[in-house]
Structure 1
Amino acid sequence: MEHALIIAAVVIVVAGGGSAALVPWARSRRQHPPAGPSGSGQPDQASEEQAGGVGTLERPAEPGTEPAAPPEQAAPPELSTPAEAPPARPAVERPPPSAGRLARLRGRLARSQSALGGVLLRLLSSGTLDDQAWEEIEDTLITADMGVAPARQLVEELRT
């Protein structure tokens, strides 16, 4: 059951990240529609000739007449791109530095309302943790039916 929940959470995070990455891409595509090959939206003569399309032939000039000036082609409209500043990255919140193991344990024990938590909190908050205090902590854990070996292991890990 736990594995299924973990897999589902990973799938949701990956899908959310993928869709979040596609949103800016889709917005930029809507703002700048794709232009034709020359940018004017009309096909080039070179592309028509390469494609083998039907074109118009110019008649040779008749003798005695001036050749007509070629029609001027309209200059392609310049696409103006607004000067967009790159989007500012949001400030990353950094969590406060984690407290030491004993400080976190004291905080959790303070929220605890059990007799065991109260005894351990009193011993750990006494200010100085000498060998006698560590033995009392170990005895409290053993009397709480934790067992000798796990109690000793926990006390050793807390001492370091």
Structure 2
Amino acid sequence: MAWASRLEVPDTDDGRVGAGIALARRISSPGYPFDEAAARRTVEREMASGGGGFDDAAAQGRQTAAPWSGGRLADLRTPTLVLHGAQDPVVRPSAARAVARAVPAARLVVLPGVGHDLPEALWPRLTGEVRAHVDLAAVSRAAGPRVSARPGCSR
């Protein structure tokens, strides 16, 4: 993401919108068409809300320097689904694999062709993955502690 810090952005709303769309394109999913109109709406909505956009150096610094403030992932006892884009240029897929390894019985789904966004064409697959995960967790809970949230794993 270092390239974003070197972007020359005109100090106008149009300049910031254009740069926001460029960033959205850069982190988008290469296996899916880029929806520039949707990216524009998102950037404009973010600007209208007063939220720190990509060109807000303070906001970016807080995000990249934020220490983990949660508990140990290994202590989680909640059925966990980790969804991650195989071509994510912001958070590498190895991070998703590390999270899935750290959480007991987590289920990892790496999505081919997906970057750091969630293209609309992928929404049915995502909702299906979440629905399957919730159903499996419900069955596991009803069956008692001997059933794993991930097929082939024991607790």
Using the size of structure 2 for normalisation, the TM-score is 0.21
Higher strand share: 2
Larger radius of gyration: 1
Flag the structure with more relative contact order, 1 or 2, with Cα contacts below 8 A and sequence separation at least 6: 2
